[in-house]
Amino acid sequence: MNLVLTLVSAPDKARLDPAALSSIAAALSRAGANVAAPDWLEPGFACDLGFSGLNPASAQNIALAMLGGDAVDCYAQASAGRKKQLLLCDMDATIVTAETLDDLSVFATDKAEIDALTQKSVKGEINFTQSLIARVALLAGLTEAEFAAAYLKVELSPGAETLIHTLRRDGCYTALVSGGFRYFTSRVAARVGFDIDISNDFEFEGGKTTGKLIPPIVDPDGEFGKLGRLRHLTAELKLTPEQTAAIGDGSNDIPMLSAAGLGCGYRGKAKVKATIGCQLNYADLTGLLFYMGYRRAEFAEPLS
């Protein structure tokens, strides 16, 4: 079979059983597909259905219709080349659970305005770079002690460490790339185990922020932004686009997700869900490993 449909349940309860898979396979067969027997990646939680004779988008839509809104993610793709050699990850609301700038804005006078700009930016309602510059200006005067206090609130998303540990063990280069700030990305990257972090730097004078960023700005599609870094690292590592993966939640991630061989939305905002075919709405970040064809027994769990 040259194609594969992967189904991944939410981690709180096994929602996949032989009867459900049989119903999906039957629906695919009625649409003209030749379907292989289920290949369990983790019994009850993740399974591959190899198939041929039907385009991936159609197979995925049929599976989603059969699932009827149950908490199961699915993605159809080519069987060959599923495991990748480069992964770029967004940080805020992807590798970590919240927006770090929201945690930082607690210490600003204009928190409500900053948070509103953040939400409009991730939803794609306003230009990311202009929004970022405006938000940073409103953070003028913050101290390094306030940055440290904001970092204490940062929580990792479930599965983040397992995802990165597994891929790095197998030789995949991992980059944390964010339109946020290096104070946070450097610490999160070290905590999770990324090879590198790419983000924006605040300008400090006298121990306080000036309200400006040090150029260049990491934006959605510029040379030094998420798309640009994906292209740069792909070339530097002598890879093809098909050997790359990316994951993120916001509209500013769409250029990067669209260009990667496997671009996945994680709890994606509306524009991401409308644009990107691969999604993880229910599974944790280890769902990306299942999409790459890993079995649960192959995961490299973190030591702590």
Active-site residue numbers?
Answer: 90, 92
For 176, phi and psi rounded to 5 degrees? -95, 115
Using CB atoms within 10 A of its CB, is residue 164 exposed (0-12), middle (13-18) or buried (19+)?
buried
For 135, phi and psi rounded to 5 degrees? -70, -40
Using CB atoms within 10 A of its CB, is residue 111 exposed (0-12), middle (13-18) or buried (19+)?
middle
Q: Which residues pair with 208 in a beta bridge?
A: 143, 205
End-to-end CA distance of the chain: 39
Structure tokens at 81: 């080349």
For 259, phi and psi rounded to 5 degrees? -85, -20
- The b-or-e profile of 268-294 (16+ CB within 10 A means b, else e) is bbebbeebbbbbbebbbbbbbbbbbbb
Cβ neighbours of residue 135 closer than 8 Å, sequence gap 6 or more? 101, 105, 114, 117, 118
